[in-house]
Amino acid sequence: MTAPAAATTPSPLTDLSRLSINTATTRQQWGLEQAVAGYAAGGVPGIAVWRDQVADCGLDRAARLIRDAGFTVTGLCRGGMFPAPTEAGRRAAIDDNRRAIEEAVALGARCLVIVSGGLADGSRDLAGARAMVRDGLAAILPEARAAGLPIAIEPLHPMYAADRCCINTLGQALDLCDALGPGVGVAIDVYHVWWDPALEAQIARAGGADGSGAGRILAFHICDWLVPTTDLLLDRGMMGDGVIDIPRIRGWVEAAGYDGLCEVEIFSAANWWQRDPEEVVSVCAERFLEVV
Ligand code: ZN
């Protein structure tokens, strides 16, 4: 028998001061204005928002509501989706990402979350798609740097490589950061990376253990992996209802120097999107203190 790995003990979470909720978690029940009010009423100090909800609310109004509520904006979702079969399509994606940068700045977001995009329509060229992602990011980085807005590459589980995101491991995301230079880091979502045997080492690398200097962990997203998972996109679990060792991963992330908020992000068509959103917020808060 091999001995169990030494436990990583993260700092205890004794209050909600490091809790953020991504509005995707209540998106079927609440628009942005309701989410802002509902999260604030639940004592949640952080929020992450989606561009479509911001557009529905109006950018200026959304920024004012969020500022008045005193939230830390842990991210704007999302930029990316760079691969396209035509030059015009790739240019349109880059232009859209430039608008996303402006929106993130107006909202005071800590980062713009990038979901890279998968294969270009009609293509089987995965390496080509990854090159389009690199080129797209390189094209928008000058604006992001000038605005002081960090770009957070979020690796997604490989089951999304074809249609959503061809950056599939933390190591791959960090290779991209190395290639692109300053102004770009990673969003670590336990749902997407929990299975990766290299995760602990890559989290340490993201914190600068490879000699790269400043920490590149820009966001930490939490939820849980249900067994069985019945939908590839819309069946994420509440923390504590699945099999991810969240405290262990949080310990690694904090040991790597990340001291920001933990952002609950749950897409759950059949369960949490069907519940009273105030209940969802209170369960997020309870579980945050119990199992994160
Ligand atoms: Zn995420």
Print the domain residue range for 23: 19-290
The length of the chain is 292
List C-alpha distances in Å: 262 to 29, 52, 141, 176, 218.
Answer: 22, 22, 25, 24, 11
56-78 pLDDT, tens per residue? 999 999 999 999 999 999 999 99
* Chain centroid offset of residue 142 CA: 22
Inside any domain, residue 79: yes
CA of 191 to the centre of ligand 1 (A): 8
* Chain centroid offset of residue 10 CA: 20
Inside any domain, residue 81: yes
CA of 9 to the centre of ligand 1 (A): 23
CA of 114 to the centre of ligand 1 (A): 10
Beta-bridge partners for 115: 80
Q: Is the pTM of this model over 0.85?
A: yes
- Distance from C-alpha of 276 to C-alpha of 282, rounded to nearest angstrom: 10
- Average pLDDT of 164-184? 97
**Within the chain, how many helices (H) and strands (E) appear?**
10, 8
CA of 232 to the centre of ligand 1 (A): 14
Inside any domain, residue 2: no
CA of 211 to the centre of ligand 1 (A): 26
Question: What's the domain count of the chain?
Answer: 1
Inside any domain, residue 144: yes
180-196 pLDDT, tens per residue? 999 999 999 999 999 99
CA of 181 to the centre of ligand 1 (A): 23
Q: What are the start-end ranges of the E strands in 23-71? A: 46-50
CA of 192 to the centre of ligand 1 (A): 8
Please state whether the peptide bond connecting residue 78 to the residue before it is cis, i.e. omega within 30 degrees of 0.
yes
CA of 16 to the centre of ligand 1 (A): 20
Inside any domain, residue 5: no
Inside any domain, residue 6: no
Q: Vertex 271, ends 270 and 272: CA angle to 5°? A: 125
Inside any domain, residue 259: yes
Inside any domain, residue 138: yes
The domain spanning residue 52 has which CATH number? Answer: 3.20.20.150
